[in-house]
Amino acid sequence: MHGKHIVVGVTGGIAAYKSPDLVRRVRERGAEVQVVMTGAAREFVTATTFQAVSGRPVRSDLWDAQAEAAMGHIELARWADAVIVAPASADFLARLAAGMADDLLTTLCLATAAPIAVAPAMNHVMWANAATRANVAVLAARGVQIYGPGEGDQACGESGEGRMLEPLDLAERLQLLLPGEGSLGGRRVLVTAGPTRERIDPVRFISNRSSGKMGFAVAQAAREAGANVVLVAGPVGLPTPAGVRRIDVESAADMLGAVLQELPGTDLFISTAAVADYRPARAAQQKIKKHDERLDLAMERTADVLATVAARSERPFVVGFAAETESVEQNARTKLLKKNLDMIAANEVGHDKAFDSEDNQLIVLTRGARHELGHAGKLTLARGLIALIAQEMAARSGARQRGSALA
């Protein structure tokens, strides 16, 4: 986080007593911190404390002419590389979700292009309230990172979900949120993961055994390498990797729609999802009753998401996965060529391999090269795969630059 500019917003909640420690943790990582307090926050911790730990005067008033003259709130919004609001009270989340600009912190959040993270902290019943749930859903859909809350004893004497995450945990997550300087720094990466569900009737569907773990690991590894990552996920119960924007979908058609919507500006597309190849030709409107001895389901082909992306004239670097039960490498090479991919990662599935397990074994093929990533945990393999992709992308853009220099 060296040299990065972080705005730490503090709103009114008892957890504000932990926020000076967050400021320290962020500064320890080399970042500059500007603290912005709401009026309510000042009821819990003094500005003097934050000034001491941040080394800068605290901002809290939109109408403070002297502070505005030094750095106006719009300048401050531009100055920020990231904004983290910890604790974020129920009131603050509501104001942020409504797009209000009624104090310095909300105005700044509205005016900044930097990523925003919030660490909610409140009584567990307030957190569970439908109004708070709806506000959090709106914020998450807009790309605001929701860190926590955790579960445990609360200041009100009750116990439940609503505790602010610990400052060290928040600082680590924040680090992942910043546009990175890793091998994929500044790149936009789109990943698909998990199975899809194809409806038979309102209560039944056809799906497959994909757990989504490999795809989530790939999204995490890309994020760690500094990329801006969007993860389009089929129905899986996995937590979203820190700093990754997730879009949940159900069917192959939904997945294609989400991918095409997110595609503009994407530098790298990684298709790990086990997309259904066929779906019921007609989903019944009502539950199918068991009238007959036999039921035949007519099926039709779904769109191939990966091949659709790879066939575009303006396309990103495209990486596919091949899940095979036999002739793994040969089938993968055929898919690499047939789907016009830049790279394919092949793994053997079935016979208790790969699906839902914590580890995997990958062979990575490009048109000119072959790499064995061996047998390892899915995150280790994902990091190895991302390193190979970054190398290949760098080599290609180097070759392109040399080509244009010659021309």
Query: What is the set of active-site residues?
Result: 156
Contact in structure between 146 and 132 (CB atoms under 8 Å): no
Site for ligand CTP in 234-273 (CB under 6 A): 252, 271, 273
Query: Which range in 34-42, 59-67, 125-133, 318-326 contacts ligand CTP by CB under 6 A?
Result: 318-326
320 near ligand CTP, judged by CB under 6 A? yes
Question: What whole-number distance in Å separates Cα of residue 10 and Cα of residue 60?
Answer: 10
Phi, psi of 169 (to 5 degrees): -60, -45
Q: Which residues are within 8 A (CB) of 375 and not within 5 positions of it... i.e. 6 or more apart?
A: 359, 360, 361
Of 77 and 255, which CB lies nearer to ligand CTP in the complex structure?
Answer: 255
Question: What whole-number distance in Å separates Cα of residue 300 and Cα of residue 321?
Answer: 23
Query: Treating both helix axes as pointing N-terminal to C-terminal, what angle do 19-28 and 47-54 enclose, rounded to 10 degrees?
Result: 10
* Candidate list 275, 310, 362, 365; residue touching ligand CTP; CB under 6 A: 275
Contact in structure between 268 and 184 (CB atoms under 8 Å): yes
Contact in structure between 324 and 332 (CB atoms under 8 Å): yes
* Candidate list 302, 360, 364, 381; residue touching ligand CTP; CB under 6 A: 302
304 near ligand CTP, judged by CB under 6 A? yes
Phi, psi of 160 (to 5 degrees): 160, -165
Contact in structure between 314 and 265 (CB atoms under 8 Å): no
* Candidate list 6, 109, 171, 322; residue touching ligand CTP; CB under 6 A: 322
Q: How far is the CB of 395 from ligand CTP (least distance, A)?
A: 22
∠ CA 308-248-343, rounded to 5°? 40
Query: Could you give the C-alpha distances from 26 to 31, 82, 115, in angstroms and in order?
Result: 6, 11, 16
Q: Residue 3: how many CB atoms within 10 A of its CB? A: 8
Q: How far is the CB of 277 from ligand CTP (least distance, A)?
A: 5
Query: Which range in 32-40, 163-171, 317-325, 370-378 contacts ligand CTP by CB under 6 A?
Result: 317-325
Q: How far is the CB of 217 from ligand CTP (least distance, A)?
A: 15
Q: How far is the CB of 320 from ligand CTP (least distance, A)?
A: 4
Query: Which range in 155-163, 260-268, 280-288, 319-327 contacts ligand CTP by CB under 6 A?
Result: 319-327
277 near ligand CTP, judged by CB under 6 A? yes
Of 135 and 271, which CB lies nearer to ligand CTP in the complex structure?
Answer: 271
Of 86 and 323, which CB lies nearer to ligand CTP in the complex structure?
Answer: 323
Q: How far is the CB of 201 from ligand CTP (least distance, A)?
A: 22
Q: Which residues are within 8 A (CB) of 315 and not within 5 positions of it... i.e. 6 or more apart?
A: 269, 309
393 near ligand CTP, judged by CB under 6 A? no
DSSP H helices, 207-327, are: 213-224, 252-262, 305-310
Of 175 and 210, which CB lies nearer to ligand CTP in the complex structure?
Answer: 210
* Candidate list 335, 347, 365, 378; residue touching ligand CTP; CB under 6 A: 335
Q: How far is the CB of 260 from ligand CTP (least distance, A)?
A: 12
Give the x-and-dash track for 217-236 against ligand CTP (CB under 6 A). --------------------
3-state SS string for 16-73: HHHHHHHHHHHHHCCCEEEEEECCHHHHCCCHHHHHHHHCCCCECCCCCHHHHHHCCH
Site for ligand CTP in 339-378 (CB under 6 A): none
Query: Which range in 129-137, 230-238, 304-312, 397-405 contacts ligand CTP by CB under 6 A?
Result: 304-312
Query: Which range in 89-97, 128-136, 158-166, 302-310 contacts ligand CTP by CB under 6 A?
Result: 302-310
Please give the structure tokens belonging to residue 150: 């955790």
Query: Could you give the C-alpha distances from 401 to 98, 356, 397, 398, 406, in angstroms and in order?
Result: 46, 42, 6, 5, 9
Of 50 and 321, which CB lies nearer to ligand CTP in the complex structure?
Answer: 321
Contacting positions for ligand CTP (CB under 6 A): 252, 271, 273, 275, 277, 302, 304-306, 320-323, 335
